[in-house]
């Protein structure tokens, strides 16, 4: 194979012109992705190292399994904490991604997290590269690691409805890793099923429940289940699917509300009709309002405070 420096520059182009073109393809998670973090002289050194890596891959088999970095390029980090593998995935440089993963099998390098705590697998999902997801998982990366939002790669796939990457992750990772990822709540208190429900991705919801996700798991912030979220989004199809999959219509939030309670004031009467016969009669009416009691307590407190101030003295007066 004829190797030229120009091929590296073409495939991993960090010039300002290419950055502007790639910006249109960026997603919210790809902000601060290392595009501006490498000075020109450092880039030239990186390009040379990748060229050496390419030559080395052609003449030597993958190294033996070890937990320590085996090559100098594995220790190179940008100002944003990105490794060369992070950068190659961001720029979708397929050849270099494959070579780096092949040389890093079963090593901690594959789980390196940048300053946003994104692993290469996070970035592969964000950039919608299911083939890279498969290669990373087959080479021993950990799919349970979370980024600075508490999201695993599976969370990201569920948030964006990325069925291809979702399928690769659920089919390629170990069973214990899959269940850990599905059950984990991010820093907003939501698990993967909650995210798919909020955004109305019925196929992902169905697949996760079939894979063992708890259909009645509650959000950590307010105790809503996926059925509550479906009602909140007025998604009748999702409400029917969740009920079919065993969602509890009498599940209470932290405030004591059932999914049926959330139908009050909403326009979709079909959801109300769907939930009414399934909701326990004692749980159909909204809980008694505490506003009147709280107002009375506030008045009592104010009156007590007024009486208490009669005895205050200031400078002897």
Q: What is the pLDDT of residue 183?
A: 96
3-state helix/strand/coil string of 47-94? HHHHHHHHHHHHHCCCCCCCCCCCCHHHHCCCCCCCCHHHHHHHCCCH
Q: What is the pLDDT of residue 149?
A: 97
Q: Which of 151, 117, 119, 114 is nearest to 38 (CA)?
A: 114
- Domains of the chain listed by start with CATH number: 190-285 (1.25.40.20)
Residue 190 neighbours by CB under 8 Å, 6+ apart: 198, 219, 220
Q: What is the pLDDT of residue 312?
A: 58
pLDDT in tens, 178-219: 999 999 999 999 999 999 999 999 999 999 999 999 999 999
How far apart are alpha carbons 60 and 64 in whole angstroms? 11
Residue 301 neighbours by CB under 8 Å, 6+ apart: none
How far apart are alpha carbons 254 and 277 in whole angstroms? 23
Per-residue tokens: 264 = 């009050």
The answer to whether the CB of 69 falls within 8 A of the CB of 104 is no
Q: Which parts of 104-225 fold into alpha helices (H)?
A: 120-126, 130-138, 153-160, 163-172, 175-183, 192-198, 202-210
How far apart are alpha carbons 263 and 282 in whole angstroms? 16
Q: Which residues does the chain have with pLDDT short of 70?
A: 1-70, 288-317
Q: What is the pLDDT of residue 287?
A: 78
Q: What is the pLDDT of residue 73?
A: 86
């Amino acid at each position: 194979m004829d190797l030229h420096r120009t091929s590296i520059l073409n495939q991993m182009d960090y010039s300002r012109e290419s950055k502007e073109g790639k910006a249109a393809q960026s997603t919210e998670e790809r902000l601060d992705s290392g595009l501006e973090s490498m000075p020109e002289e450092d880039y030239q050194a990186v390009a040379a190292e990748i060229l050496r890596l390419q030559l080395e891959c052609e003449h030597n088999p993958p190294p033996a399994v070890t937990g320590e970095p085996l090559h100098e390029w594995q220790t190179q980090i940008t100002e944003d904490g990105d490794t060369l593998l992070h950068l190659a995935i961001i720029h979708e440089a397929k050849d270099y991604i494959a070579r780096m993963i092949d040389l890093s099998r079963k090593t901690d390098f594959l789980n390196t997290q940048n300053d946003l705590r994104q692993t290469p697998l996070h970035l592969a999902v964000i950039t919608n590269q299911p083939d890279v997801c498969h290669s990373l998982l087959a080479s021993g990366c950990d799919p349970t690691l979370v980024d600075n939002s508490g999201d695993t790669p599976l969370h990201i796939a569920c948030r964006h409805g990325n069925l291809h990457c979702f399928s690769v992750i659920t089919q390629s990772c170990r069973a214990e890793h899959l269940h850990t990822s599905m059950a984990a709540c991010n820093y907003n208190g939501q698990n993967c099923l909650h995210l798919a429900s909020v955004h109305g991705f019925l196929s992902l919801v169905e697949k996760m429940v079939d894979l063992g996700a708890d259909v009645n798991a509650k959000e950590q912030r307010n105790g809503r289940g996926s059925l509550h979220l479906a009602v909140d989004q007025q998604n009748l199809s999702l409400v029917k699917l969740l009920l079919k999959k065993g969602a509890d219509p009498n599940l209470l939030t932290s405030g004591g509300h059932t999914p049926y309670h959330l139908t009050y004031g909403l326009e979709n009467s079909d959801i109300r009709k769907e939930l009414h016969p399934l909701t326990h009669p004692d749980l159909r009416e909204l809980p008694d309002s505490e506003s009147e009691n709280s107002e009375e307590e506030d008045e009592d407190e104010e009156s007590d405070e007024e009486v208490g101030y009669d005895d205050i003295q200031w400078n002897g007066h």
